[in-house]
A = this chain, B = another copy of it.
């Protein structure tokens, strides 16, 4: 049991290291040898923990998609207004972007390197997420909480505005940054009467 736990935590270390390498060099430029070096293993030992680079990409992308889906389900079923739901989603995006290295991998278009059926699976989850997000925005417009902006423009502006925040070298206070992004986005959407 202990050895299984140790193995699973080693796996996590490998995934985090891989996510950092994918972020800094890109998925394709990262070799298994780079990864082995980053976690201080021989390449041959690395294969005791993971089967291939694509397996890592697949797990990272699908785990991220599931994380966002779970958050969306919670938000969708909460008894608050569309605007409050959108605030909660912006919070979620910023938190995940700031705290989870692996999220950058799926944000940064690296998912394009997924093979089938993972690629279709990932795209389907993403589409579903976007459909649900759009429905909340449309509801906010219908309820006259939001300006009558094209819902897709509104959604992509939110999604892209919460993607640069992982850039740690910017040295911004996270709480302040998160509040300012929300202020700017929410202010920008809200309908004032």
Chain A residues within CB distance 8 Å of chain B? 25-26, 28-29, 108-109, 112-113, 147, 149-150, 152-154, 156-157, 159-161, 163-165, 167, 170, 172, 176-177, 180-181, 183-189, 192
Contact = CB atoms under 8 A, between A and B. Distances in A.
Contact of A26 (B112, B147, B176): B112
B152 A172 contact: yes
Copies in the complex: 2
Name the 8 nearest CB pairs between A and B, nearest first.
Answer: A188-B188, A184-B188, A153-B180, A187-B188, A160-B160, A149-B180, A28-B28, A157-B161
Nearest to A162: B160
A172 B156 CA distance: 12
B164 A160 contact: yes
Contacts of A161: 157, 160-161
